[in-house]
Structure 1
Amino acid sequence: MAVVITEELKAKSEVYYGDEICREKSKFLLQEVNLPRGLLPLRDIIECGYDKETGFVWLKQEQKIEHVFTKIGRKVTYAPEITAYVEKNKIKKVVGVKTKELLLWLTVEEISVTDKAPENVTFTTSAGLFKTYKRSAFELEEEEKKKMNIEDEIEKIKLSPLAPAPAPEQASEVVANK
């Protein structure tokens, strides 16, 4: 059941307006509850809010969007208004997010990770079905690229010697010149 976002609720919540700040706040909140920062790839966000006391969050965007998580081949739709409750390792009572499974659109009701398997993210639908994916499938592209660049640099360092050793004939010249 969707929660109505009233002025009273807004008065006791952190509320932000505008796409840039709302994107940053949503990424920060996902990070704070230990979920991948790329789970909510929203655009043109008008308003977002967070009631710390209850864990209730909402995001309003200009229009519904579809996003494909290419690493897992899943299409997800995000309604113009998304609401949920957040707590450590979990987003529950989600309203406004659906995923396509075969020919059906299923409502995502919960997104979670466990301490036993923090590398995985589990999605549970309102029908009780669930699916688990690797966390890396939901990382932000720029973070993934940065991670790949760092890994590439480490590999280059491992493969290249620190300084080329002088050839044996050059080594004797160096000693003779001293």
Structure 2
Amino acid sequence: MGSQAIEAHRQGAEVYHGAALCAEKSVELLAETHMPLGLLPLGELEEVGYNRDTGFVWLRQRKPITHTFKQIGRQVSYATEVTAYVEDGRMKRMTGVKTKELLIWVTVSDMFHDKDDQSNITFKTPAGLGRTYPVEAFAKEDDPEGKPAAAANGKKVAVNGKARK
């Protein structure tokens, strides 16, 4: 299903290729949407696309990976294609992301943080069940505080050495 959705949204999208550029663009996307910069620790990215008109984003990587967020002790699996619709502080209708709950892999379909309290981030399943964790647990390795890249008050922040609003 992910590939069909990607092709449907490719027209008019910004599409990037190459591991280094894709890694940079994925971090910029998280910064732009005010999400924690370590939320998508994907490796060997081959393609990143963002259709700003529809809010649809896709990330393609060479092979699926499993990452453990040590601070909360959770394993998360990322498929070769991860898709979502993004808006400020939210990624919804996600595909390609699962988390291990006890012995079962559970699909993650939505992640968001409250605009009034950006210290926590909530993850939901398609059934509506959810869990909330501190944002610091999803910090990028070079961002120990784990805060979203830009506060809702519009302050400028540095993203890959460039000032962004």
- TM-score, normalized by length of structure 1? 0.77
Secondary structure of 2:144 counterpart: helix
SS at the partner of 2:71? coil
Structure 1 residue 116: Cα displacement: 2.3
Matched, 1:98 2:132: no
| Residues 4-63 of structure 1: CA deviation (Å, up to 9, x unaligned) | 322x63241000001111111111111111110100000001101000000000000001
Identity value in percent: 48
**Aligned mates of 1:126, 1:115 — CA distance in 2:** 22
Give 1:144 shift: 1.1
Q: In 1, distance between residues paired with 2:70 and 2:47?
A: 27
**Contact 2:109–2:124 at 8 Å: present in 1 too?**
yes
RMSD value over aligned CA atoms? 1.6
Counterpart of 1:25 in 2: which secondary structure?
helix
Q: 1:78, CA displacement in angstroms?
A: 0.1
Alignment partner, residue 82 of structure 1: 82
User: How many residue pairs are counted as aligned between the two chains?
Assistant: 145
Distance 2:11 2:116 in 1: 38
Quick check: 1:106–1:126 contact (8 Å CA) kept in 2?
no
TM-score by length of 2: 0.83
Query: Does the Cα contact within 8 Å between 1:64 and 1:79 map onto a contact in 2?
Result: yes
Structure 2 runs not aligned, ≥5 long: 148-165
Q: Secondary structure at the match of 1:140?
A: coil
Q: Tell which structure's C-alpha radius of gyration is larger.
A: 1
**1:4 and 2:5 are equivalent in the alignment:** yes
Is 1:115 aligned to residue 115 of structure 2? Answer: yes
Tell me whether 69-78 or 136-145 shows the greater mean CA deviation: 136-145
What amino acid maps onto 2:58 in structure 1?
A: W
Query: 1:39 maps to what in 2?
Result: 39
1:67 aligns to what?
Answer: 67
Aligned to 2:58: 58
Report what 2:20 is aligned to. 20
CA distance in 2 between counterparts of 1:133 and 1:140 reads 15
SS of residue matched to 2:21 = helix
Q: Distance in 1 between matches of 2:82 and 2:118?
A: 25
Indicate the structure whose relative CO is greater, using CA pairs within 8 Å and at least 6 residues apart: 2
Which residue is 2:138 aligned to?
138
Deviation of 1:127 (Å): 2.3
Contact 2:9–2:56 (Cα < 8 Å) also in 1: no
Greater fraction of residues in helix: 1
Name the CA distance, whole Å, in 2 between partners of 1:79 and 1:91: 16
